[in-house]
């Protein structure tokens, strides 16, 4: 646990008592704060009371009279589409609002760090797509290199739940826009921006607000080294604003769409080959095509970002290549479940939006595509140009018929449920085909989460093929 500093003897309010909220309460108490809390859900409130947490209805008048700070869980809106009533009350009362990420950064450093030969470091990863894989790949590599590494944030453990890092320890954080937009302290040593595509627009008041939430990690965090995906104009602008000159190697540009040149530091992937250039010279290359845990151009972008982090920390290209080969990938993210009779089964349930599904569709040949679910705004037109490898689509979800109508020019079968979709795809698949779950939609019409949806796919594949999966 990271005890929260700066509130000893003061009262701090916590809104939301899920995983991060409960961890925040414990960390605040460990730092000497008096904690009161509130959750709109009666079940969460009852569990909190059973743990001895003092509840106070923060919607009542004068609820913030003695409160030094309100700490809110990431999923609770504080501005758009409208502030939660408790946060609105805190704003009116002039009480600072923060989240667990802000508390983490203000509390990480300890006085006994003076005895360390090598200070702990924090690597923070944000972006629309690929941040989970990039974060996990960085942590995997550092573990392979023998470093003391912890993975936390939007993946792994909650940030305040981790152990205080020891001499030379590294914390890798995956940070969503919900987490970066509100944190009052953001001070990573290395920060990574993977890419940007429309997502959570209602929460951020549009694409500009969404980008601004990501940008805070760099503009306000002041990292020593920034690794920026430049395949969208927002990344190009961010890299431009952070660099003092074209040769400023505090900014490493990353691309999976084009060769990068110039006098600066860049890492890019083309036709399955990663290349590193510095001061106009190539100084490293890796063949990514034979690395099973990183299939497709979108994963090659993740590999470039992770490679840049490792190079920043002083590791050699050959060390990085070896670590890539031992990376198994993440569950629900381009995860190969089985190969039976020449047919590959791939679980990419994490492809909850159009852009991530688009990337998955470009990663495999001869695709039998399982898609559908709770649609996000904007429709499906933006991914239709990536469906050239789709042999047939098998649509699931409560609104499968409407989803199917948008898949113009494709052979489509409305299956509604996962069992029928996987069964039909298996029956029709031929050697060399890939049965790909990449829904391009949220899961909440039929499942509790994208993990629940992916697990269902995995279990059905195992039942139908007789393999254990992996």
Q: Are 77 and 84 in contact (CB under 8 A)?
A: yes
Residues tagged in the binding site annotation = 127-133
Phi, psi of 459 (to 5 degrees): -65, -40
The pLDDT > 70 percentage for the chain reads: 99
Task: State how far the Cα of 437 lies from the Cα of 421, in Å rounded to an integer.
Answer: 10
The residue with tokens 């649609």 is 375
pLDDT digits (tens, 9 = 90+) for 249-296: 999 999 999 999 899 999 999 999 999 999 999 999 999 998 988 988
Question: Mind listing the pLDDT tens digit for each residue in 327-382?
Answer: 988 888 888 889 999 999 999 998 998 888 998 998 899 999 999 999 887 789 88
Q: Is the dihedral of CA 442, 443, 449, 451 positive or negative?
A: negative
Beta strands per DSSP E along 138-180: 149-153, 170-174
Would the pLDDT of 168 be above 60? Answer: yes
Residue with token string 């009161």: 36
Q: Which of 240, 234, 241 is nearest to 220 (CA)?
A: 241
- Arch. (CATH architecture) of 335-465: Alpha-Beta Complex (3.90)
Instruction: For the chain, give every domain's residue range.
Output: 11-98, 108-325, 335-465
Three-state DSSP state, 232: coil
Q: Which residues contact residue 43 at a Cβ distance below 8 angstroms, ignoring those fewer than 6 apart?
A: none
- 30, pLDDT greater than 50: yes
Compute φ and ψ for 150, nearest 5 degrees: -130, 135
pLDDT of 301:
94
Angle between helices 296-312 and 131-144 (to 10 degrees): 50
Q: Report the pLDDT value the prediction gives residue 470, as an integer from 0 to 100.
A: 46
Is the pLDDT at 398 greater than 60? The verdict is yes
| Residues 6 or more apart in contact with residue 313 via CB below 8 angstroms | 121, 142, 170, 190
The whole-number average pLDDT for the span 133-140 is: 96
The topology under which CATH files domain 108-325 is 3.40.1190
Burial 208-218 (b: 16+ CB within 10 A, else e): ebbbbbbbbbb
Residue 364 in tokens: 């495999």
**Buried/exposed 347-379: b ≥16 CB within 10 Å, e otherwise:** bbbbbbbbbbbbbbbbbbebbbbbbbbbbbeee
Cis peptide bond N-terminal to 81, omega within 30: yes
Instruction: Pick out the residues of the known binding site for ATP.
Output: 127-133
Give the pLDDT confidence of 100-110 residue by residue, as tens digits.
999 999 999 88
Which of 44-53, 333-342, 444-453 is the least confident region? 44-53
Ranges assigned E (strand) in 341-443:
343-347, 367-371, 390-396, 412-416, 434-437
pLDDT of 468 reads 67
**CA distance linking residue 323 with residue 325, whole number of Å:** 5
| CATH number of the 11-98 domain | 3.40.50.720
Nearest of 421, 387, 418, 415 to residue 400 by alpha carbon: 415
């Amino acid at each position: 646990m990271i005890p929260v500093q700066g509130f000893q003897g003061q009262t701090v309010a916590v809104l939301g008592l899920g995983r991060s909220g409960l961890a925040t309460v414990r960390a605040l108490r460990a730092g000497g704060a008096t904690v009161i809390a509130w959750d709109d859900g009666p079940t969460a409130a009852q569990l909190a009371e059973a743990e001895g947490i003092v509840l106070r209805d923060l919607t009542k008048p004068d609820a913030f009279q003695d409160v030094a700070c309100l700490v809110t869980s990431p999923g609770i809106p504080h501005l758009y589409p409208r502030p939660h009533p408790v946060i609105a009350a805190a704003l009116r009362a002039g009480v600072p609002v923060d989240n667990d990420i802000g508390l983490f950064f203000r509390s990480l450093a300890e006085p006994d760090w003076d005895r360390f030969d090598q200070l702990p470091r924090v690597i923070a990863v944000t972006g629309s797509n690929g941040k989970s894989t990039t974060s996990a790949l960085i942590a995997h590599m550092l573990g392979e290199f023998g470093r003391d590494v912890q993975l936390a944030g939007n993946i792994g453990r909650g940030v305040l739940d981790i152990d205080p890092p020891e001499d030379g320890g590294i914390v890798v954080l995956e940070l969503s826009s919900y987490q970066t937009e509100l944190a009052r302290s953001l001070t990573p040593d290395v920060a990574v921006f993977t890419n940007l595509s429309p997502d959570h627009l209602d929460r951020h008041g549009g694409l500009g607000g969404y980008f601004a939430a990501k940008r805070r990690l760099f503009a306000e965090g002041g990292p020593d080294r920034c690794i920026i995906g430049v395949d969208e104009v927002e990344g190009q602008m961010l890299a431009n604003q952070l660099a003092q000159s074209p040769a400023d190697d505090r900014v490493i540009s990353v691309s999976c769409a084009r060769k990068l040149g110039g006098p600066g530091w860049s890492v890019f992937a083309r036709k399955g080959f990663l290349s590193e250039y510095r001061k106009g010279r190539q100084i490293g290359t890796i063949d990514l095509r034979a690395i099973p845990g990183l299939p497709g151009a979108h994963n090659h972008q993740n590999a470039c970002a992770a490679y840049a982090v490792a190079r920043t920390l002083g590791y050699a290209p050959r060390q990085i290549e070896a670590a890539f080969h031992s990376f198994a990938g993440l569950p629900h993210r381009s995860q190969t479940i089985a190969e039976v009779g020449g047919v590959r089964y791939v679980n990419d349930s994490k492809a909850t939006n159009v852009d991530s599904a688009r990337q998955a569709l470009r990663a495999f040949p001869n695709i039998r595509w399982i898609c559908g679910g709770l649609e996000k705004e904007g429709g499906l037109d933006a991914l239709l140009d990536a469906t050239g490898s789709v042999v047939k689509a098998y649509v699931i979800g409560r609104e499968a018929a409407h989803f199917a109508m948008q898949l113009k020019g494709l052979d489509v079968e409305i299956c509604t449920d996962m069992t029928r979709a996987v069964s039909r795809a298996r029956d029709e698949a031929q050697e060399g085909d890939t049965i790909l779950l990449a829904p391009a939609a949220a899961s909440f019409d039929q499942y509790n989460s994208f993990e629940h949806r992916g697990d269902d796919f995995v279990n059905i594949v195992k039942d139908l093929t007789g393999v254990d999966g992996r």
